[in-house]
Amino acid sequence: MRRNTSLSIYSVFTFIVLFPKLMFAETPIQRADWSKYFDEANAQGTIVVSDERSGGKGTMAFNIGRAEKRFSPASTFKIPHALFALDAGVIRDEFETKAWDGVKRSFPGWNQDQNLRSSMRYSVVWVYEGFAREIGEEKEREYLEKVQYGNQDSSGKQPFWIEGNLQISAQEQLDFLKRLYRNELPFSLANQRLIKDIMIVEAGPEWILRAKTGWSGTVGWWVGWVEHPKGPVFFALNIDTPGRVEDLPKREAITRKILKSIEALP
């Protein structure tokens, strides 16, 4: 009898722990109509949008199967990586400068001294390669596990977030961004607020767009959210980029059209 009682208590406890996850695990609404935005751009990809505004449309996705498939995060990884660097003390704040090494690179914005804000804005890979060297692979892996980021694998060719084994899905990108938005990541409140501040792309009287691009050479990303008085709208898009650099403007173009279609952007 005691054994059955124990099992019952255990079952109830397990249900209580898991019930919130089961209750809030939201199956995305399939938006086949969004295919027109990808077709217009001649692009193959996926987008997941979570509309958390009061009276919002919930979670929606085009190409749900791909939304669950992992790819290299490329420079979208700069969002958590900047948090790792701040936490590890390899950069003090948004004002500390990292000296340019004098090596001329293909992107003009990279060829100058950088701080955290400029390195995010211009997506300066060499700054984050420096962070990775100072943090070290073991600590990088610990951070990835701590925040449950994608497959949590910092091994392979460097930089591991572009050329190596780190991978993440569009759905996982969205989940990570939601935790950052709510200051729920295992980092100081000040550092989480700082990262959100340097992610700002543009703003209007009643909205703020925070986002980050990424490109692995074969897959392009745009992830982030739009803040409104009634709540946020999160998004994560990835597309194939067979045309390489020529395909990169498609990331924002497709996403903006979709966000405008649900009145998340003006």
Q: Which residues are catalytic?
A: 75
How many degrees, rounded to 5, is the angle at CA 155 between CA 88 and CA 109? 65
227 three-state secondary structure? strand
- Cα separation, 141 vs 153, whole angstroms: 7
Which phi and psi angles does 241 have, rounded to 5°? -130, 65
Q: Which two tokens stand for residue 118?
A: 């400029």
How far apart CA 238 and CA 47 sit, in angstroms, is 7
- The CA distance from 256 to 248, in Å, is 14
Contact, 227 vs 220, CB < 8 A?
no
8-state DSSP, 203: E
Radius of gyration of the chain (CA): 20
Whole-angstrom distance, CA of residue 193 vs CA of residue 191: 5
Q: What is the DSSP letter of 156?
A: S
Comparing CA positions, the residue from 105, 100, 94, 158 lying closest to residue 129 is: 158
